[in-house]
Amino acid sequence: MPSVLAGPQWTGSSYIDSFRRTRQPTPNELLAELKNTAWTCASINAATCANYPPRLYVITEHHHPQPKCATKALSPWAERRIRTLPHLSARLRSAARIEEVTEHPLLTLLQHANPIHNACDLWELTTLYQEVHGSAYWYLDLDPVRGIPQAIWILPSQNMTPRRDPGSKSLVDYYLYRNSRNETRFAPEQIIHFAYPDPRDPYTSGLSPLRACFEQVALTSDYAAFKKAKFENHALPDAIISPEEVMGEEERDRLETQWNNRFRRGGAGKVVVAESSLKVSLLNQSMGDLAALADMKATKEDIANAFHVPIAFLTTQTNLANLQASQSQHMSLAISPRLERRDQKLNAQLVPLYDATGRLFLASEDPVPLDRDMLIQQQIADLKYGVVAINEIRSERGLPPVEWGEVPWLPLQWERTDFPRPCEAPHLGRNRTPKPDTPNDGD
């Protein structure tokens, strides 16, 4: 690698606002802001990605032997979808057959990552750390004999730092993990680093959606804290009691204690009888100056846009059509790129530990929902015009073939232009060909 790429790449300002008052947030500060709308958006993306775990497939070319692992055949629709994946098209161009692997040590590892986390925990935490910090780290506990992982441990991203020795030509010489007690160094071959693209440092860092909207998230937290302080009476009193004459300090404290004991903590509606003339002024706390901020619509939309979460997911002012369109948009623009990025990282660093031939690969299901009405119309048209046979449609639905469905059917009034006609059928009935007029015998 060019030596200029080694080391930190970002040389810009360390402040995030134009007034140079707010510095770049630390990983722990980012984690502290994971609440309110930010938590909602991050958890939606993480849980959705966890619902689409990658599946293991094996390629068989013409000169390859049969796979040694247990496999099952793919449906024609599933195989077509796998072959059209952009990041796998070149790899699958010469594959004669693609099968799904049903039993393999890699599948066992991903199902039971470690004694604490199952498969859902593994995928959800991986995406969640990327949503917050832009990076997620897997520690592979490698078997010293076989060289394959015995367990996968997720390392908290806020404690991880890629490090490089002085004068080294490597991007990362080790990963430093620090907590409140000690430090631990991990070799690069023991770590799988998942990262979102970061234009400031495209090699060792990741830019998270939470960091991209940190100012809006901090604004929401400040407003919530201010409103809570208002409600708890930390800013303005509800009433002012003014005596008609000068009152001693002990008498003032006694009256204040008596007033609070009667009216605080559910004491509304009670009365107090004063020993002297008092003037009570009630204060109305106006929140009109915070009306624009109280709505928080613009801030919520900015946060949702950073996480690629449709605003229809965060409001009740929507209908079924908008919700379905938003779901398709979310799957296409947010979930699908995240799954593809995750699969490519695993195919590059994890799968080769189990397969040196390159026949195995991981791929997730397509999260974009199908337009079932359009799919049904397409199947009807394909059957009507003889594009596919009935058994092909039945195979895609998991139904057994039928004897009369091996070849495509055509409408009864259709036939091939070169169809052989051994004999001409007579034209009878209403559709017979009229005969030319013949002269009558008397003419």
Per-residue model confidence (pLDDT) at position 252: 79
Strand partners, 47: none
Per-residue model confidence (pLDDT) at position 23: 77
pTM of structure: 0.76
Structure tokens at 296: 């928080």
- Cβ contacts of 173 within 8 Å, gap of 6 or more: 163, 164, 165, 188
CB 285 within 8 A of CB 230: yes
Q: What is the CA angle 430-435-438, rounded to 5? A: 140
Q: In Å, how far from its chain's centre is CA 101?
A: 25
Structure tokens at 175: 């990963």
Per-residue model confidence (pLDDT) at position 90: 81
CB 76 within 8 A of CB 154: no
> What is the mean pLDDT, run by run of 10 residues, along the chain of 443 residues?
72 69 84 92 96 93 85 84 84 86 94 94 96 95 90 95 86 90 92 94 91 88 76 64 78 81 67 70 57 65 92 87 90 94 94 90 87 78 83 81 83 62 52 55 52
User: Closest Cα partner for 361 from 49, 53, 58, 52?
Assistant: 58
Per-residue model confidence (pLDDT) at position 406: 84
Per-residue model confidence (pLDDT) at position 430: 45
Per-residue model confidence (pLDDT) at position 429: 47
First vs last Cα of the chain: how many Å apart? 106
For the stretch 128-156, pLDDT in tens is 999 999 999 999 999 988 889 999 999 99
- Rounded to 5 degrees, φ, ψ at 40 are -60, -50
Strand partners, 57: 100, 361
Q: At what angle do helices 297-306 and 214-231 cross, to 10 degrees?
A: 140
How far is it, in rounded angstroms, from Cα 223 to Cα 230?
A: 11
Distances (CA, A) of 173 to 1, 166, 179, 224: 14, 10, 20, 43
Structure tokens at 331: 């799957």
Per-residue model confidence (pLDDT) at position 244: 75
